[in-house]
Amino acid sequence: MLNLYRAEWHKVFANFRLTAFLVWIFPIGLFAFHTVMILLSLVSPTMTAGVEYFGSGSWTADSLNAWNMMITFPANLFGRMLPLAFMAVVFAGEYQWRTWKNIAPRTQRWKLILAKMAALVSLVLISLTLMALISALGPSIGYRIHGLPYGPDLEPQILGSFLLDTAKTVFIVLLSLAVLAGYAAIAAITTRSILGGLLVSFGFSVLDAVSLGMLSLFAALFNQPSLINLYQYTPTYNLSNMYSWLLRGEGEVALIAGISPLTFAPGFWVSMLVLAIWIGGLIGLALVIFQRQELTE
């Protein structure tokens, strides 16, 4: 299985244009952004405020916030698009390049899908890790240049707590990426095309992310307020809820202030179970469809 994982890694890594545009764009884009902000702040006094505007004043908070785009609504609506596109293109690419016929007879099909998912998820995780580092380093340099306080000090206790919070966050992001890998695999395998894979997986992801708004609309239309509680069965909610339990010690109730506060939040393990069912169901479905699929190209 390790060789298979390395084969998939080799493929995605070698597809430089694709990874540069859909994966490395996060750290590269952020690096470019912070560099420009710092340079502008040096030449224009009015831009000095910009450095402060885009940083929270705390490297721990800035670093952890970088991961948020994969977890909570509404940031996840857009944050998940590029990793999702990357995954869909890689899965569908095997149909476009007519390469399944080369690799499928050499191993078991389920292993191919799992190895591909593992390689894709790990590559996106590396990109997000780099982004989290830059998210802390960029403002840190900008703040220090202008003599602004940027804490907290790097003490063992602070570092330990930060690393623990980061590990918890990465765990949630990992679950989020597993959901995306499931969406992408199902979309690409069923449509057998890059465009179809992109559109269908985007459709899945958007439905998931905006399900709260849709359920609120239906609740109002049919005068059934309890419909909103269905939101608690979606991946987006359970990722948010688990994240809230892990980092704040309480469940997620106030999703978006004033729109549709839920009456209660399920416990961490309930959300974990719901997510496990989602991830197992999505990946299992992708495996079953691919296992039964006729590779005619």
Residue type, position 26, single letter = F
Give yes or no for residue 193 binding another protein (CB under 8 A). Answer: no
The region of 1-9, 40-48, 133-141, 232-240 touching another protein under the rule CB under 8 A is 1-9
Give yes or no for residue 20 binding another protein (CB under 8 A). Answer: no
Q: Which of 43, 46, 53, 105 binds another protein (CB under 8 A)?
A: 105
Give yes or no for residue 161 binding another protein (CB under 8 A). Answer: no
Residue type, position 264, single letter = F
The region of 54-62, 78-86, 103-111, 183-191 touching another protein under the rule CB under 8 A is 103-111
Contacts of residue 235, Cβ cutoff 8 Å, sequence gap at least 6:
176, 179, 208, 275, 278
Measured CA to CA, the distance from residue 52 to residue 39 in angstroms comes to 14
Give yes or no for residue 107 binding another protein (CB under 8 A). Answer: yes
What's the closest the beta carbon of residue 19 comes to another protein, in angstroms?
Answer: 11
3 CB-contact burial (10 Å; exposed 0-12 / middle 13-18 / buried 19+):
exposed
What's the closest the beta carbon of residue 88 comes to another protein, in angstroms?
Answer: 17
The region of 11-19, 26-34, 171-179, 228-236 touching another protein under the rule CB under 8 A is 11-19
Q: 62 with 56: CB under 8 angstroms?
A: yes
User: Does 74 sit behind a cis peptide bond, omega within 30 degrees of 0 on the bond before it?
Assistant: yes
| Site track 268-297 with another protein (rule: CB under 8 A), x = hit | ------------------------x-xxx-
Give yes or no for residue 106 binding another protein (CB under 8 A). Answer: yes
Dihedral Cα 220, 223, 229, 230, nearest 10 deg? -80
**Minimum CB distance to another protein smaller for 2 or for 257:** 2
Give yes or no for residue 97 binding another protein (CB under 8 A). Answer: yes
3-state DSSP: the chain helix, strand, coil percent, rounded to 5? 80, 0, 20
Q: 246 with 268: CB under 8 angstroms?
A: yes
For residue 272, how many other CB atoms are within 10 A of its CB?
16
The region of 6-14, 28-36, 40-48, 216-224 touching another protein under the rule CB under 8 A is 6-14
Give yes or no for residue 118 binding another protein (CB under 8 A). Answer: no
Give the footprint of another protein on this chain (CB under 8 A).
Answer: 3-4, 6-7, 10-11, 14-17, 97-108, 112, 292, 294-296
